[in-house]
Each structure stands twice: as structure tokens, then as C-alpha cells.
Amino acid sequence: MSEEIDALDRSIINALQRGLPLVPHPYAEAAAALGIGENELLARLRALLDRGVLTRFGPLYQIERAGGRFVLCACHAPAERMEAVIDAINAHPEVAHHYARTHHLNLWFVLAVARAEDLAPALARIAATAGVEILPFPKEREFFVNLYLPA
């Protein structure tokens, strides 16, 4: 981690990676299990997000069950335009995150749309604004990895 975190922040990150309890007041119950109040838990989560220690905190959905789509996408961004291409891609609210690779297809990102029919228009808009060809790689099969990264 690029930022130093204290023992309580570390405990919060480790505990909440496994999920929140499915109860009427999940943050209160999670906070109680950590020995703190709900307001402190929420304030610490906000601070971790604001400082960039956490880049996202929220649920993961099986979007296809609701009619949407997640699609892994790749493109070739010329080295001299890499930052401009990244900025253009990230400007679209449908883009969940991106990462660079050392390959001809050197920029990858995840596209999320609420409706399957929104996929092609979103890809066309992103390609046009970024000035690169976008190659979509739709999910053929789902894998549950249960990734856990202790802080």
C-alpha cells in the first residue's frame, strides 16, 4: 500500500473484504464486531477512499442477471498518446477500471453497461473519443476467485 494505515484501518479493510452482514444496519453490526461505533467506521472508510488507500468500496453484482453486461476490452494505445487515450477512456462512466500491459494490446479496461443493447453504442463512443480500435472480449464463463488481500 502506498499510504501508511494504522492497526484499526488494517482491521477494517481485512474484515470488510469478506462482506457486510445482511442485516437492517450492516455498518453498525460490522462496527460493533470491530469494537468501534458506526460513525467511526463510516468516517474511516471515507478517509481511506479520500486518501486513495481504497479506490472503491461497494458491492459486486452479477450484472447479467439484471440484464446488463461486463466486458473486458483491449486496445493498442501508442506510447506517445498513452495518457490521452487513458484519459479519454476513463472519461466514460461505463468504464470500471483500466490497466496497462506490455503487449501490442497494451491497454485493457472493463466496461459495464446496464442493458445489453447499450454495449455496442458505448464501445463506439469510447473508440471515437479515444481514437483507437477497441476489441471487446465478452465473458463466456464466470469464475469465482474469492480474492482476499490482507492489509
CATH number of the domain at 63-138, out of 3.40.50.620, 2.40.70.10, 3.90.580.10, 3.30.70.920?
Answer: 3.30.70.920
Predicted confidence pLDDT, tens digits, the chain (151 residues): 446 889 999 999 999 988 888 999 999 999 999 999 999 999 999 999 999 888 778 877 778 888 889 899 999 999 999 999 999 999 999 998 888 999 999 999 999 999 999 999 999 999 999 999 999 998 888 776 666 667 6
Q: Per-residue pLDDT tens for 30-39? A: 999 999 999 9
Task: Look at the pTM and tell me if it is higher than 0.75.
Answer: no
In the chain, CATH 3.30.70.920 sits at 63-138
pLDDT computed for residue 148 by the predictor = 65
- For the beta carbon of residue 16, count every other beta carbon within 10 angstroms: 17
Greatest C-alpha distance within the chain: 51
Alpha carbon distance, N-terminus to C-terminus of the chain: 8
